[in-house]
Structure 1
Amino acid sequence: MTNMLLEADLDLIEKKYQVDLGRGTDKASQIEDAYYPQFDAALRIEAHSMAKHYEVFYCLEKSIRQLIVDVFEGTEDPNWWENLVPEVVRINAKKSIKREKEAAVTPRSSDPIDYTTFGELGEIIKANWSLFGGVVFNDQKAMEKVMFALNSLRNPIAHCSLLAEDEVLRLELALRDWFRITS
């Protein structure tokens, strides 16, 4: 009984602090246990080394989306998606939403901003420079340069290619640049 109470408390802690204490065997680990060992060991090592780069980009891309939402919501325009996001970006997001719906998969989000590409995030910022310049970013050309560099580095990460040693260094420098250009 004591163990059950402890397990329940640990469940609450994991949920509250969004941490995995590694005590459970969920479906993901069952799948990993069944299929992951069937891949070549060298490939698994490569995947492990690339995972950290994916995590960095996941956090970066999600935080840029949130930054855009926060700035736009600060305008108090309830229709900011229609009024502030470039038409081509809205059209592309709408197409992506439609593709997901037609594929009968679980929608990734109810927010259209989550259907934008990394490159489109830069276009949204550029199109609304009056809201971002000086407040969020120091310089538009610097923001464009850093976003371009990050987008170039994102492609091999998102498309399961190994980052060369020089590109790992470029990624670190681009991330430093990103945080430097934000006010």
Structure 2
Amino acid sequence: MFEAEADAFRRAGIQIGAAASDDEENLMREALAPFGVARRNRALEMARLYAVLFCFENEIREFIREALEEKEGLDWQDKLPPKVKEHAEGRRATALKDTWLEGEKADLLGFADFGQLAQIIIAKWDHFKDVVPTQHWLKQRMDEMEKARNFIAHNRMLLPSEFQRLYMYIADWNRAIGL
């Protein structure tokens, strides 16, 4: 009963109890406490970049999914470039065998590699040419971003100039597709 009443106050903008962000900050501080300050600071810097890349990559997947579903119908997955489809199906089959590993397993596009996303767009160029500036523009940025993304995925620190390049490319993409 209290939760129902407290929820009404929260929706009205009145804070009830401790702020969730404070709890998250305390959990993060506690989890990182055993490590040195320099390593913690670098980790937090990389965590912000990872969050941006996570959103970016999944936004591209959604962009492709929506465009292909609209232009090719509900069976759009069957019409993916054969090598991309085969690769994604293989990775999904492996994930389904790993029953202990929970998470999204239904979305075939989620099993395509980052670099394959550009391949899909280029292979289906007629569906994307009105939004994406050029194939060269797409390929050049996605190739560079894939290298940086893989660096991040393997817990390597990037230089500040690389941070800026990634943020710039993501901003370019967002402008191009209207985000």
Instruction: Please give the TM-score of this superposition, normalised by the length of structure 2.
Output: 0.80
In 2, the alpha carbon distance for the partners of 1:122 and 1:56 equals 18
For residue 177 of structure 1, give the secondary structure of its aligned residue in structure 2. Answer: helix
What residue number does 1:110 align with? Answer: 106
160 and 147 in structure 1: CA distance in 2 versus 1, 3 angstrom threshold: same
What residue number does 2:148 align with? Answer: 153
Note the 1:1-183 alignment, pairs <5 A.
5-6=5-6, 8-9=7-8, 21-22=19-20, 35-83=31-79, 85-103=80-98, 104-133=100-129, 135-182=130-177
Deviations 1:47-90 (A, max 9, x none): 1111111111011101100100111111152211011x111111
Residue identity opposite 1:163 in structure 2: L
3 and 63 in structure 1: CA distance in 2 versus 1, 3 angstrom threshold: closer
Count, aligned residues: 172
| Unaligned runs of at least 5 residues, structure 1 | 14-20
Residue identity opposite 1:95 in structure 2: G
**Identity, % of aligned positions:** 26
The alpha-carbon deviation at position 140 of structure 1 amounts to: 1.3
| Unaligned runs of at least 5 residues, structure 2 | 13-18
What residue number does 2:16 align with? Answer: none
The alpha-carbon deviation at position 182 of structure 1 amounts to: 4.1
In 2, the alpha carbon distance for the partners of 1:87 and 1:11 equals 50
Residue identity opposite 2:5 in structure 1: L
101 and 63 in structure 1: CA distance in 2 versus 1, 3 angstrom threshold: same
Residue identity opposite 1:70 in structure 2: E
Report if the CA contact (8 A) 1:89-1:120 is conserved. yes
In 2, the alpha carbon distance for the partners of 1:127 and 1:35 equals 44
